Every structure is written in C-alpha cells, then in structure tokens.
Structure 1
C-alpha cells in the first residue's frame, strides 16, 4: 500500500486529480498517435455540439457544470483555433450562440471513431476486473452526495466538539 492509499479520504482529491491527469494524458496520447490535433479538455464542448446545432455559452456552462468564465475561456480558445464560432442569438441579443465551423465539423468526423474506440477499450478494461465495474456508479454517488452533504460544515461542527490545541 502506497502513501496515498494509506491516507484514505485525507487525500481523496489528490488521488482523483492524479487519476484524472493520468487518464487525460492517455486520451491525449491517443489523439496524438492518430495525428489529430485535439485536446481531451475540449471533449465536453465537442460532444454537446455534436448533439446540438448551437448552444449558448450559458447552456454549455450549465451542462458541463463549469463556471461561465471557464466555459467562455474554452470557447475563446476553440474560436482562436477556428473550430467554433459564435453568433448573437436571434431571441436575445445578449446571448452568444456557439456552433461548429466547417473546420470544427471536419475535426468532429475524425474524432468520432476515436470516441467509439475509447469506449470499447474502457469497456474491455472494466470487463477485466469486477472491481472496476463499480467505479462510474460510485463516482456518480459521490458527486450526488457532495451536492447534498455540507462537508465543510459537518467537519466544522465536529471540530467544535473535539478538544484540540491551537497552533
């Protein structure tokens, strides 16, 4: 058992971040090996736009559960690469609508088979170890619990009842 495993929940965030970074690095290596200029961080926007002709930055922010500034920054990056464009909403002049450019649609066509292959590869990995099969439901349960459970408040309450010395 390594240090991270021995510390349990005290390093849960660090372990999840490390796992995420490792996974995203592998995914980016797949795109690179295929000669495709695509970054895994773009996936949520590409996926949502692949299912919708156009979405507002607010809709993208809400569906990806990131802040509006973070979504706006990602869209700006994709605009600079000429993969998406924005237009003013016909219904509300304050809303910026995001859609693929021709270059973005061409890139989408290149990456769709990679998404299928990634899903198939992960399904194989999951089938190879029964413990892995529970990871996605466990992550969903943890996300849902965190939304409802005020961890900082609960820990603060516990600290009030436990005598401890101040440093």
Structure 2
C-alpha cells in the first residue's frame, strides 16, 4: 500500500508539472498522449496493437488515447493498403508541426532530468528497471503467497503418533480417499487398527499439528520385500490446511526416520490424477518405477526414493 501510494504521489506530481511544461512551450498536448505521439513521431504509421505492444499499454488504453488525439486533429486513422482489415494510425500535418515544435522542449526536459539525476544518490531509472524485471519474473502477489506459506508452515509441528490421534488418522484419510476414489479393504485394515497394522510391525506414523489441531498424517509402513524397506503411505492433509507445506513436512519426517532406521529405499503407490501429490513426490526425489502388483485398485503409479 505504501509503495503504491508513494508511486502515485510521485506520478501525480510529475504529471502536473508535465502539463505545465507543455503549456510553457505552447504545445497543446496532454501528458498521457505522449507515449503514443512519440511512437508515431518517427514517421511510420502503426496499428493500435503495435503501439500498445511498443509502449506497454493495454489495447483499450491506446484506443482511447487515439480517439482523443484524432478529435484534436493530431493523428488520423486509415485502412492498410496491403490488409484492409487493419487500421493504421499516423500523424496529421498538425501532428507533424507539433513534432517540430516540441524539439526544443525535448532538449530542455532531458537536461533538467540529467541535472536532477546528478543530484541523487540512487538512479531512479535503474531502480525501476530492476523492480519491473523482478516483478515480471514473480509478481508481488506470488511473493506474498510464498511468505504466507513460509510463516504458516513454520507454525506446523510434526509429532509421532499417539492413540489420541487415531480418529484423525482415520478421518483425514477417509476424507481424501472418498473424494477421489472409494475405500478399499486394505484401507480399512490400516485405518481402523493403525497400532496393529502399522506400528507393531515396525512402522511409524507422523501427525502434523496446526494450532494443536491434527491437520495431516502420514505413515511409514515396514515392507516384507527384498527391494524396499518401507512404504510411504496414508499421507493425507485436510483441505482446510492446504498451502502450508504440510505434505512436504510429513514426507520429510518419514524420510528422516527411514534414514535413521538404516533404510536404503522408500516405496510409494499413488494415482496420476492426484497431480499435486505426484508433484510433491517428485519434489521429494521420488522417481517412477515399473509397475508392481498392488493391493489397491486405485494405484496406477509406483515410485521409489533412493535415500
């Protein structure tokens, strides 16, 4: 808000002075017309689309300025001889006359800006170029979203499973499974008896807490398999808590536990329609492997992570 307000105040002040500068030199032009006028002052007629692209304004904005300048007799519109569907915009005789008259104004304004710049510690042009470039790469909105995510994810705690989280472990998994697929027998076995089906067999369960409320869960299930030590499974995050890097934090906790236990590989199964989940697994370092027999109908992709 402060940056926007300061820029608007500076713009208003410069625009107010600019209007008086035109009056000083007897040039009957509004400051907002200048970018369009300057593009056309080189002598070549252009379409509104070309002008808009060159000065970085919207097509609607340029169209409005062109209409105003046509009414004042500075520019004219005509059909393109090579393409009748296009309208070309160019300076009229009056516009060309102003183009000659404004030459002295250019010199004085340029010298005034140079003098002003020489008295400053920071180069405004370079600063604007840097901001424009950086905001083009990543918008202010996106940067705020990332900071929000960092702040909120720092408030997430990942803890080991306790019996008081049994219902949350069931509910969070049942919610996402039922949203996309259907609960299967293997789901009920693990979710209804996590202690017997996962923990007592050498597995581990992690719970993500946000404001002390369980909002995400993930299990590290011991596998009886010559290729893999553990399966990363039963990861679920409440829709109400998404965007806080909870999946990443849970996955990281499972990876660290697996390394601590001496595991060399992690295995998981998923479905390719779960694009955010697949993206997360790739970010964690998982790679697709050849299909294996799965106890789940919904599984159509298998992945592994070499620890």
Partner of 1:71: 62
2:48 aligned with 1:48, yes or no? Answer: no
- Note the 1:1-167 alignment, pairs <5 A: 10-129=1-120, 131-132=121-122, 134-163=123-152
Report the aligned-residue RMSD: 1.7
Give ranges in structure 2 of 5+ residues lacking alignment. Answer: 156-307
Give ranges in structure 1 of 5+ residues lacking alignment. Answer: 1-9
**The structure with more radius of gyration:** 2
- Deviations 1:47-67 (Å, cap 9, x if unpaired)? 111124211111100011111
Larger fraction in helix: 1
Give the TM-score normalised by the residue count of structure 1: 0.84
- Deviations 1:54-110 (Å, cap 9, x if unpaired)? 111111000111111111110000001110001111222222111001011111111
What SS does the corresponding residue of 1:51 show, helix, strand or coil?
Answer: coil
Partner of 1:3: none
**Matched residue pairs, number?**
153
- Deviations 1:91-142 (Å, cap 9, x if unpaired)? 222221110010111111111210111001111111233x14x111111111
What SS does the corresponding residue of 1:98 show, helix, strand or coil?
Answer: strand
**Deviating runs (4+, > 4 A) in structure 1?**
none
Give the TM-score normalised by the residue count of structure 2: 0.47
